[in-house]
Structure 1
Amino acid sequence: MTESPPRLSRLVFHGPLSESRADGMVRRLAATRPRSVLDIGCGWAEPLLRLLAAVPDAKGTGIDVNGEDLARARRNAEARGLADRVEFVEESALGTRYGPADVVLCLGASQALSTAEPSTAGALRELRRLVRDGGRVLLGEGFWERPPTEAELSGMWPGARAGDHHDLATLLDLAVEAGFRPEWTETAGPQEWEEFESAYQADLEVWLAGNPLHPLAAETRERLDRHRAQWMSYRGVLGLAYLTLVPVAS
C-alpha cells in the first residue's frame, strides 16, 4: 500500500511570510532584548524559534491545539539546540494562564484568544493583558484589501461574511483602542501569498498525481480542488497585516 499523503513539508511558515520579512521582524523584536516570548497558536513555531535563536537569554512558550504541529516544533527546537529554552503546550489559549511576556506573537491566530465574531477586537484586548509594559506584540491578522462581492464571499470558506474582517485602517484603529501604538505596519504581498498557497497544496498535489487510485485519492482530490477554488475567490481580496504593536504604559 502506498503511504498516506504528506503534510505541509514545503511550508517554512504557516502563512504568507517571506524569509526577508521574517528576518526584519526578528531583528526588530530581538532589539528589544526580551527575556520571555509567548506564541499564541504557534503551530510549529518557526518565528518563535528564530527569535529565541537571536536572543540567547530569552525563553519561550508556544500554545496550540494541534499536537502534530507541536511535535514538529519540538523536533525543530531539538535540532537547533533550543529545546531547553522553549516549552510547547497543547491546549486552548482562551483565558490562558501564560504571560505576561516581553514579546507576544499571534500570527493568524486571533481566533484562539476570543470567541467573538470577528475575533479581532477581543483578541487585541487579550493581547494587551498578555504583554508587559515596554514589550511588543507581533500580530498577523486578516483584513479586506477591498470590500468583497457576494459572489466572492460565496466562493470562500463556508459561511464567509463581509463582517469576518475589517479594512486595514479599522484594524489599526482597533489596535489603538485596545491600548497599543503601531510601531510597524506591513502587509503580505502577492508573491508571499502565492508561495504560501502553492506550498500549502504542493505536497498533496504531487502525491495525488502519483497515486490516483489510492483509497484516499478521491477525498484528497476533493479537498485540494475545494481549497484552490476558495483561494481563487479570496485572492487579491483578503490581505494579511503584520502589526508590531507597542503597549501603552498602564
Structure 2
Amino acid sequence: MITSDSELPPRLGSLTFHGPLSEARATRMIERLAAAGPADVLDIGCGWGELLLRVLEAAPAAEGVGIDINAEDLARGRALAERRGLADRVAFVEESALGTDRGPVDAVLCLGSSQALCDPELPYDPAAVLRELRRLVRPGGRVVLGEGFWERTPTGAELAGMWPGASLDDHFSLGALVDLAVEAGFRPAWIETASAEEWEEFESGYRYDTEVWLAAHPDHPLAAETRERVDRQRSGWLNGYRNVLGIAYLTLVAAA
C-alpha cells in the first residue's frame, strides 16, 4: 500500500529556523553581516537555508551556497529560494562539509551544525571546528557560529537524561568557547546567547506538528515508532539539558 504524504508524520513544519533563534535576533545578526558587504556566503549544514536566504535578501550583491546531507531539507530550501526570487543567486548542494573546498568566502554561517566539520570517527572537538571555519573565510570576513556551551556544570542525573552517551566533555563554558575562537584566529565581534523563550519556541515547535499528528493517528502503523522518538526527544530536553545547555551565537571576524 502506498501511503500519501498527508498520512505520514510531519517534519519540522512549524519551525522557521532549525534552532532556538528568534526573528528579532536573526534580524540583528543579518543586519550586522550584510553591513560588511559580503560577495559570497557559505552555509554549513544549511537545512532549508532560511538564514542564508535572508542574508542574500539583505545583501543583494551576494551569492550563496548551502550544503547539507538532508535531501528533504535542501528541496525545501530550493522551493523557498524560487518563491522569493533568489534561485539564481543560491545553490543548495547535497554533500558533506567535511574537508569542503567551498572556501574561502566572505561570510560563513554555521548554526547548530559544527559537527558537520568534524571527522565522525573522532571525538567532537570545537577547537578543530573553529580552525576549519577560519580556513573557510577570508581575512576580514565574518563567521556566524551557533554553538552549544554549558551554562553550568550538569549533574550526573542531568547528563543521563540528555542524549545517549552525553558527557561533560561534550561542551565548554562560554568563556572557554570564546577563547578557542580567539586562538583560532578570530576576534569575537558580537557574543550573544539564546534565551529561555527561544529555547521553548524551538523545542515545542520541533515537535508540534508531530504531536498533533500523533493525537489524530494513534493507530497508524508508524505511530508507535514516532511516539517513542518524540517522547525520548522531549524527555531529553525537560529532564536533561533544559537550563543547562546553552546556545552561543558568535559573530566572529577573521583576523588578518
TM range (shorter): over 0.9
Tell me the equivalent position of 2:149.
143
Tell me the equivalent position of 2:131.
125
Structure 2: 5+ residue stretches without partners? none
User: 1: CA distance between counterparts of 2:224 and 2:124?
Assistant: 34
Give the one of 19, 29, 36 matched to 1:32.
36
Secondary structure of 1:222 counterpart? helix
User: 2: CA distance between counterparts of 1:182 and 1:74?
Assistant: 32
Give the one of 232, 241, 251 matched to 1:226.
232
Tell me the equivalent position of 1:194.
200
Secondary structure of 1:199 counterpart? helix
Q: Deviations over 1:103-131 (max 9, x none)?
A: 00000111111124233110100000000
- CA-atom RMSD in angstroms: 0.9
Counterpart amino acid of residue 226 in structure 2: T
Matched ranges for 1:231-250 at <5 A: 231-232=237-238, 233-249=240-256
1:212 aligns with 2:218: yes
* 1:89 shift after superposition: 1.1
Q: Deviations over 1:8-45 (max 9, x none)?
A: 10000000000000000000000000000000010011
- What TM-score do the two structures reach when normalised by structure 1? 0.98
1:167 aligns with 2:188: no
- What TM-score do the two structures reach when normalised by structure 2? 0.96
Q: Which moved more, 1:213-222 or 1:112-121?
A: 112-121
Aligned length: 249
* 1:99 shift after superposition: 1.0
1:62 aligns with 2:66: yes
The runs of 4+ residues in structure 1 deviating greater than 6 Å are none
Q: Deviations over 1:111-159 (max 9, x none)?
A: 1111242331101000000001111000000000001111100110000
